[in-house]
Chain A
């Protein structure tokens, strides 16, 4: 095979030259900057103009005022809205309540998601694993509103929960904060299960076996090997449940009874009260809380291994 075979060389056609597409390919291959520009310009334009600028405009609105006589927005730069939101008793109470609900939802979701995700990633066979992924995703195919109203009917005084609990002397919590926490926990559970499942999938089985091999029982293996390695994924899941709960206002409207969350205050100020600057100032609260949460998580070093 070391000598060249002229017959075979003739049979293979040489690469075709010329042609617009081919010249374009050659240009992009030899000009990496042009390649980068072509690839990123459209998504960057979308991200910067449509997404970030729109958000910034809303936040800038927080420093404007509303003319109390005409109801028009006036560009008078002021910190009044911020001061109102930070010092007002109503806003403090609602902020604490919202953070409490979001924290409770997050704790419940992580507690539910961990065993489910562990079972999916490490125990179930390939067939059961696929079925469970679909089962977890399935609720996401249904409308948010449908699910919230379904919980409204479940939690009502003559609903299925009351019917199930009354024989053992318990009762449905009715509409209120508890109902809000239950419903939000249900709504965001898939968003917590999936990242934890993906994180546990990346933990090699051999690490769990190695821990058992070295004498580690189930609990020790969980605590010293599985949880530390899954921690970034758990944090990713909590970011979903926590931030989605902070911003929610529909669920609390449907099952929350008279309770209000930050989202409701934003909603009433945009709508009924027609005070967009105050609404924007209120909207800054969950953003600030999420930034604080991310900074806290980052300091634990959990995100270094992502």
Chain B
């Protein structure tokens, strides 16, 4: 049991007519992992989730759940449960009936299923809303009912399809913390689909970045952020300054695309001379106040327009002059060389 991955996808492919939504995905997700599938809309991440849940049948390839091939089994025969993007609560049932539904289907007795449903509701702090209808709850509460309903049946793997997408920012941040806590308490595998890179970085043990039906890069949040393997990942995960091949030689003195994160850059009036530090001259075109930080936009003389992120210190308040000549500098180890597509 322990030597099997929670989920193993082998050569998983899904075609919708002429469109290949998922293109030969191989992936292993360990038991107890908080795993995120990150990508823009149409990148295939939701389709992979639906293939794991059993709502779609793959064109080719297999889905294994704890070593058992479930590729051709129906959703109701798979020990995975889904938290849907629109929550999919049954509008004609009360909150407690919604949560108890999975138990009722399994033939659990009335008293026991009420007991377990109430405990699941208590875990998401909604026991006082048990007799309400879903329409009488707020978005965040519905979200928590959906979580309780999916976890009450004790699945081995919980699939979450952009579960926080419909919530406002404050609530989303609060739910992120709750999700992480819930996952630690239950100790089950979470597979989390999102297009929000910050959410993925915050929550995940590992992230797969999807692009055009393929996994562009697989790694820990730190690996993805610090060492993006491609231009797409560098651009999609966080914000970055991309230097095309045409600028690589003039700015860096060598060939090949590269990127530098805005917070790794620093500004000075004159070119720095320390070992391992390079710099480029440019003109400050805009200063943007972000609260906790200040973003400065600089046109490099021999390069693209880039952005530099600085901490908001009191010392920086006055120097927001547009048109100033500045030197942008970076440590060589903060440069990330990007592999050209297919190269």
Residues of A participating in the B interface, judged by any CB pair closer than 8 Å: 204, 206-207, 209-217, 220, 224-225, 228-229, 305
Q: How large is the interface on B (under 10, 10 to 19, 20 to 34, 35 or more residues)?
A: 20 to 34
Provide the bound-state CA to CA distance between A224 and B102, in Å.
12
Say whether A209 contacts B91, CB under 8 Å.
Answer: no
Contact of A210 among B54, B84, B153 (CB under 8 A): B84
Known: A216-B105, A220-B105. A209 touches B153 (CB 8 A): no
Complex interface: chain B residues within 8 A of A206 (CB): 84-86, 88
Task: Judge whether A209 and B55 touch: CB under 8 Å.
Answer: yes
Q: In terms of DSSP, what is the predominant structure of the interface of chain A?
A: helix
Q: Do A214 and B101 have beta carbons less than 8 Å apart?
A: yes
Cβ contacts under 8 Å, A225 to chain B:
90
B92: interface (CB < 8 Å): yes
Given the interface pairs A229-B91, A229-B92, the reply to whether A214 lies near B84 with Cβ below 8 Å is no
* A215 CB → nearest B CB, Å: 4
Minimum Cβ distance to chain B for residue A216 (Å): 5
Tell which of B76, B85, B86, B91 touches A216, judged by Cβ atoms closer than 8 Å. Answer: B76
Q: Which of chain A's residues have a CB closer than 8 A to the CB of B90?
A: 207, 210-211, 224-225
Query: Can you show 18 pairs from A to B with CB atoms below 8 A apart?
Result: A204-B86, A206-B84, A209-B88, A210-B89, A212-B74, A212-B75, A213-B53, A213-B75, A213-B76, A213-B81, A213-B82, A213-B150, A214-B150, A215-B153, A216-B76, A216-B105, A220-B105, A305-B91
The docked-state distance in angstroms from the alpha carbon of A209 to that of B83 is: 11
CA distance A212 to B101 in the complex (A): 11
Query: In the complex, which residues of chain B have a beta carbon less than 8 angstroms from the beta carbon of A213?
Result: 53, 55, 75-76, 80-82, 150
In this assembly, does B106 line the interface, its C-beta being within 8 Å of a C-beta of chain A? yes
Known: A204-B88, A225-B90, A229-B91. A210 touches B105 (CB 8 A): no
Measured CA separation A104–B80 after assembly (Å): 44
Residues on A with beta carbons closer than 8 Å to the beta carbon of B54: 212
Residue on B with the closest CB to A216?
B105
Contact A211 B101 (CB under 8 A): yes
What's the least CB distance linking A39 to chain B, in Å? 31
Chain B positions 62 through 75: 1 when the CB is less than 8 Å from some CB of chain A, otherwise 0: 00000000000011
Q: Do the beta carbons of A214 and B153 come within 8 Å of each other?
A: yes
Residues of A within 8 A of B149 (CB): 214
The CA of A216 and the CA of B102, in the complex, are separated in Å by 7
In contact, A216 and B101 (Cβ under 8 angstroms): yes
Q: Which residues of A contact B92 (CB under 8 A)?
A: 228-229, 305
Interface-centre pick from A214, A217, A220 (highest chain B CB count, 10 A): A214
A220 to B106, CA, bound (A): 11
Complex Cα distance A213/B85, Å?
14
Look across to chain B and name the residue whose beta carbon is closest to the beta carbon of A212.
B75
Q: How far is the CA of A211 from the CA of B149 in the complex (A)?
A: 11
- Nearest CB of A to B154, in Å: 12
A206 to B90, CA, bound (A): 10
Q: How far is the CB of B274 from chain A (nearest CB, A)?
A: 40
| Docked complex: B49-64 residues within 8 A CB-CB of A | 53-55
Which partner residue on chain A sits nearest B159 by CB separation?
Answer: A213
Are A207 and B76 also in contact (CB < 8 A) when A215-B102, A215-B153 are? no
In the complex, the chain A residue whose C-beta lies closest to that of B152 is: A214
Q: How far is the CA of A220 from the CA of B103 in the complex (A)?
A: 13
Least CB distance, B156 to chain A, in whole angstroms:
13
- List, in ascending order, chain B residues with CB within 8 A of A224's CB: 90, 101
Q: List chain A residues, Cβ under 8 A from B84.
A: 206, 209-210
Docked-complex contact A209 and B105, CB < 8 angstroms: no
- Set B76, B81, B86, B88: member contacting A217, Cβ < 8 A: B76
Shortest C-beta distance, B76 to chain A (Å), equals: 5
| Cβ-closest chain B residue relative to A207 | B88
Chain A neighbourhood of B150, CB < 8 A: 213-214
Q: Decide: A212 near B76, CB < 8 A? Known: A228-B92, A229-B91, A229-B92.
A: yes
**Residues 85-101 of B contacting A (Cβ, < 8 Å):** 85-86, 88-92, 101
Q: Besides the contacts A211-B90, A213-B150, A225-B90, what 11 more A-B pairs have beta carbons closer than 8 Å?
A: A204-B86, A206-B85, A207-B88, A210-B88, A210-B90, A211-B105, A213-B80, A214-B102, A217-B76, A220-B105, A305-B92
The 4 closest A-B pairs by CB, nearest first: A214-B102, A206-B88, A210-B88, A212-B75
